[in-house]
Amino acid sequence: MSVTVRIPTTLRPLAGGSSEVEVEGGTVGDVLKALDSAHPGFSDRLLDDEGGLRKFVNIFVADDDVRFLDGLATPVPDGETVAIIPAVAGG
């Protein structure tokens, strides 16, 4: 299943400067593994030592935050868009 992953500006150097990449995967976890395989370094930035999403990273399938769905097990339909959104804090 081919999906589009939207890459935030801060992570684009890992993807050769691309704002979007195409990878294969049936779940968010599969998509992130494929992304890291094609562009090494993403797992270190997105996943913690236990393999879960880091607290400052938000992943959306279409417009839905995967933290409120099935996390990394969230299904990703063929042709869907997965967006990586880093948390922003200010003060």
- CATH class of this structure's domain 2-86: alpha beta
**Residues 35-59 pLDDT 10s:** 999 999 999 999 999 999 998 999 9
HEC profile for the chain?
CEEEEECCHHHHHHHCCCCEEEEECCEHHHHHHHHHHHCCCHHHHHECCCCCECCCEEEEECCEEHHHCCHHHCECCCCCEEEEEECCCCC
**pLDDT for 62:** 92
| Residue 89 clears pLDDT 80, i.e. is over it | no
**Residues 69-79 pLDDT 10s:** 999 999 999 99
pTM of the model: 0.92
**pLDDT for 90:** 62
**pLDDT for 88:** 76
